[in-house]
Amino acid sequence: MTLKLTASVAALALMAGGAVAQDLKFPVGEGAFNWASYEEFKSAHGDLAGQELTIAGPWLGPDQELVESMLAYFEAATGVDVKYVGSDSFETQVRIDAEAGSAANISVFPQPGLTADLARLGQVAALTDADAAWLQENYAAGQSWVDLASFPGPDGNSALYGFFYKVDLKSLVWFSPENFEDAGYEVPETMEDLKTLTEQMVADGVTPWCVGLGSGGATGWPATDWVEDMMLRVNTPADYDAWVSNELKFNDPKVVAAIEEFGWFIEEGRVAGGRGAVATTDFRDSPKGLFSSPPQCMMHRQASFIPSFFPDGTQMGVDADFFYFPAYAEKDLGKPVLGAGTLFGITKDSPAARAFIDWLKVPAAHEVWMAQSGFLTPFKGVNIDLYGDETLKKMGEILLSADTFRFDGSDLMPGGIGAGAFWTGMVDYAGGKPAQEVADAIQSAWDGLK
């Protein structure tokens, strides 16, 4: 009874509000947007007037305004009446709505695992082979995006169930250009160069790294990102995928080696405060060492969101900058990128829903949000000069140059591991426990889930 009541309330909310209709942010035909592809899409799908498309997702506040500014162009091109509703409990609500048969036409999933769960239950419609082929050809590291959104359906056969859109980038190292210039340091191009630079800094009496794992009840998660990035730099993408699914056991020598690669960067002398301070330093405070006088450290590995915790008034490109967390040249594994992102799935099929998937193949569907803020795309067909600022453009270039993209592994693991044993294990490791002992404990916890 409660399930049906909650679902009914959600459905009513979706029908009652969230209408997208608004003025177009950028006039069609003006600026450096790919308007030709917009007009082609309009010619192909402009006969859908009177149809309705409901979209449910996790975006609220400014992000909701941004996605609605993009949806307005789909509405203008097709005549479809679009209604978007955001929720801060989307992951729970989408399951309830799907179970009750009242899901939105399109659901915006924050991570693939949730999509996979609903696909297995037959609550997400499969996309087409043509959609998969388009992603392979038009997204940088295209096969990665197909693989990340392909899951077994109710019949056990794998198919594409989601279309990635709006990506976050994690494989970044932040630094102060002024500090580097004063010391005569150059941005490293390979992992070998990065380790050489780290050792040079120690020899110069400078602390290379700031690392903080503190995050309240989520303490330890920043180290999982380190290990995931190192997994992609010492092992193959196939090994990474097998690790995430536990086909490659957590205590396998390949995984232990990746943990120890992280450990190399937090050895005494290489990290601010010493290894003992890593687990107790809050991740929000750790980058501030880049900006102290004298600097407490020279580099900080963290995702694209970390400037939110830089000191007030920090000017990107002047006071702070970043470079790609590089790969080993000798291992010939290309340029892997770790990140996250949202994927659009069809949770209630309709002609308008299928047209919307086609809309995501139009450069303008990406460029409109790109030109504002908080958006990255692996779509090779966009005009990267449209990014709203140079920081986003530089991140976009890193994304487009990637050979492999992999989703944050801890987010794909069972909650008791990815948001439990993995976190605590990394705190133990930073505190001095051997990598093998930590990996054995995590694998034991995973075995206990079965």
Q: What is the mean pLDDT of residues 328-345?
A: 96
Q: Using one digit for the tens of pLDDT, what is the confidence trace for 248-270?
A: 999 999 999 999 999 999 999 99
Whether 7 has a pLDDT exceeding 50, the answer reads no
Q: What is the DSSP code string of 52-82?
A: EEEEEES--HHHHHHHHHHHHHHHHHH--EE
Closest to 412 measured CA to CA, from 304, 345, 344, 340? 340
pLDDT at position 18, please?
57
In the DSSP assignment, the letter for residue 104 is: -
Architecture of domain 2-169+339-407: 3-Layer(aba) Sandwich (3.40)
pLDDT at position 111, please?
87
pLDDT at position 2, please?
29
Q: How confident is the model at residue 9 (pLDDT cuts 50, 70, 90)?
A: very low
Query: Does this chain's domain 2-169+339-407 share its CATH topology with 172-336+410-447?
Result: yes
Q: What is the mean pLDDT of residues 388-410?
A: 96
Q: Using one digit for the tens of pLDDT, what is the confidence trace for 420-436?
A: 999 999 999 999 999 99
- What is the rounded average pLDDT for all residues in the chain? 94
pLDDT at position 5, please?
31
pLDDT at position 12, please?
38
Q: Using one digit for the tens of pLDDT, what is the confidence trace for 185-211?
A: 999 999 999 999 999 999 999 999 999
pTM of the predicted model as reported, rounded to 2 decimal places:
0.91
pLDDT at position 163, please?
98
Q: Which residues pair with 56 in a beta bridge?
A: 85, 107
pLDDT at position 233, please?
98
CA–CA gap between residue 141 and residue 121 (Å, rounded): 29
pLDDT at position 16, please?
40
pLDDT at position 23, please?
85
CA–CA gap between residue 328 and residue 381 (Å, rounded): 29
Q: Round the CA-based radius of gyration of the chain to a whole number and report it.
A: 23
| Per-domain boundaries in the chain | 2-169+339-407, 172-336+410-447
Residue 182 makes CB contacts below 8 A (sequence gap 6+) with: none
Question: 378 preceded by cis ω (within 30°)?
Answer: no
Cβ–Cβ under 8 Å, residues 232 and 170:
no
Whether 4 has a pLDDT exceeding 90, the answer reads no
Q: Between 3.90.1640.10, 3.40.190.10, 3.55.10.10, 3.40.50.12160, what CATH number should domain 172-336+410-447 receive?
A: 3.40.190.10
Looking at per-residue pLDDT, the higher value among 169 and 450 belongs to 169
Closest to 241 measured CA to CA, from 160, 147, 162? 147
- φ, ψ dihedrals at 159, nearest 5°: -150, 165
Whether 3 has a pLDDT exceeding 70, the answer reads no
